[in-house]
Amino acid sequence: MTHHPDSPPLTADAPSPERERSEPSTGAPGVGRLIGLDLARGLAVFGMYAVHVGPAPSQGGVIGFLMELAQGRSSALFAVLAGFAVALITGRRTPKTGLAGRQAVAKVIIRAVILLALGTALTLTGTPVVPILAFYGLFFLLVLPLYRLGAKPLALIAAGWALVGPQLLYALKPVVGGRVFLSYGQADGLVSLFFTGGYPALTWVPFVIAGMAVARCDLAAKAVRMRLALTGVALAVTGYGGSWLAVRLVPGAAEAVRKAEEGPGMSSVSSVSSVSPDSIGIFGDTPAGMLASAPHSEATLSIMAATGVAILVITACLAAMDAFPRLRRLAGPVIAVGSMSLTAYVYHIVAIWLLDTETSAVPPLHILLGLIASVTVLATLWSRFVKRGPLEWLMGRATGLARHIR
Identify the CA nearest to 239 among candidates 261, 217, 219, 210.
210
Tens of pLDDT, residue by residue over 138-159, are 999 999 999 999 999 999 999 9
User: How would residue 8 be classed by pLDDT, with cut points 50, 70 and 90?
Assistant: very low
**pLDDT of 345 higher than 50:** yes
* Domain extents in the chain: 17-151+190-233+312-404
Instruction: Give the per-residue pLDDT at 33.
Output: 52
Of the candidate ranges 128-142, 164-178, 247-261, 356-370, the one whose mean pLDDT is the lowest: 247-261
Instruction: Give the per-residue pLDDT at 289.
Output: 67
Identify the CA nearest to 298 among candidates 404, 179, 141.
179
Instruction: Give the per-residue pLDDT at 284.
Output: 47
**pLDDT higher for 296 or 334?**
334
User: How would residue 43 be classed by pLDDT, with cut points 50, 70 and 90?
Assistant: very high
Which backbone phi and psi does 285 adopt, to 5 degrees? Answer: -110, 10
**pLDDT higher for 387 or 337?**
337
**pLDDT of 16 higher than 60:** no
Mean pLDDT of 32-50: 88
Instruction: Give the per-residue pLDDT at 9.
Output: 42
Measured CA to CA, the distance from residue 32 to residue 36 in angstroms comes to 10
Instruction: Give the per-residue pLDDT at 260.
Output: 53
Identify the CA nearest to 309 among candidates 28, 92, 29, 47.
47
Instruction: Give the per-residue pLDDT at 285.
Output: 52
Instruction: Give the per-residue pLDDT at 390.
Output: 96
Measured CA to CA, the distance from residue 45 to residue 39 in angstroms comes to 10
Instruction: Give the per-residue pLDDT at 291.
Output: 81
Tens of pLDDT, residue by residue over 257-305, are 666 555 433 333 333 222 333 333 445 456 776 787 877 788 899 999 9
Instruction: Give the per-residue pLDDT at 269.
Output: 32
Of the candidate ranges 120-124, 275-279, 362-366, the one whose mean pLDDT is the lowest: 275-279
To which H or E segment does residue 135 belong? helix 133-143
Rounded to two decimals, the pTM is 0.85
Average pLDDT of the chain to the nearest whole number? 82
Instruction: Give the per-residue pLDDT at 351.
Output: 94
Q: Which residues contact residue 328 at a Cβ distance below 8 angstroms, ignoring those fewer than 6 apart?
A: 30, 35, 321, 335
User: How would residue 312 be classed by pLDDT, with cut points 50, 70 and 90?
Assistant: very high
Tens of pLDDT, residue by residue over 211-264, are 999 999 999 899 999 999 999 999 999 999 998 898 888 877 777 666 655 543
Instruction: Give the per-residue pLDDT at 387.
Output: 86
- 3-state DSSP helix/strand/coil % of the chain, to nearest 5: 70, 0, 30
